[in-house]
Each structure stands twice: as C-alpha cells, then as structure tokens.
Amino acid sequence: MSTWTPSNLKDLQALIAKAKREGKWLRCGYQGLWFSPKELTEANEKGRFLWGVVNWELCDPMDKIKGLEKNKARIDIEIAEMRERIL
C-alpha cells in the first residue's frame, strides 16, 4: 500500500500545470473520469482525487466529445429501431 507524500502532490501539481500549458485534460482510465486542470486542482484542494501521476494521463478534451457523439449516434439508431418495432 502506498502512502501519499508531499512529493506525490508536487508531481501531481506539475502534471496539472503541464496539462494547462498544453490545453489538455486529465483522465483517469481506471475510473473513466475526466477533469480540466482547474477542476482537478479544485478537487485536490478539497482533498479529493489525490492520486499519483501514474493514475492520470493527459488527453485532448475533444476526444471525450467525439466519444460521446459516437455513443449518441449509436443510441439514436437504437431508438429509431425500437420505435419502428413498436409502431
């Protein structure tokens, strides 16, 4: 079991700063969570999501939008198919 240390926080803050500079967001793949640098900083200030940098990756927030749009298109098709079946 790992222990949270001030150096862990320093590393996480450096990663957040890098995300901000590069226009990226931070994604936790294990949990499927996405945070803007501002959102993660605010959560960290409240003692939340204080996870080591190994748990985070920098991602383009548009990737999340594209994924949601793809899911929406799939759901729209499923709705249309269901409507046809019941009408």
- Indicate whether 37 belongs to any domain: yes
65: domain range? 6-86
- Indicate whether 78 belongs to any domain: yes
- Indicate whether 69 belongs to any domain: yes
DSSP for 40-53 reads: HHHHHHTT-S---G
Q: What is the total count of domains within the chain?
A: 1
Q: pTM of the predicted model, to two decimals?
A: 0.81
- Indicate whether 59 belongs to any domain: yes
Residue pair 37/28 in contact (Cβ under 8 Å)? The answer is no
Residue 2 has pLDDT above 90, yes or no: no
Residue 3 has pLDDT above 80, yes or no: no
**Model confidence pLDDT, tens digit, residues 57-82:** 999 999 999 999 999 999 999 999 99
Residue 37 has pLDDT above 90, yes or no: yes
- Indicate whether 1 belongs to any domain: no
- Indicate whether 63 belongs to any domain: yes
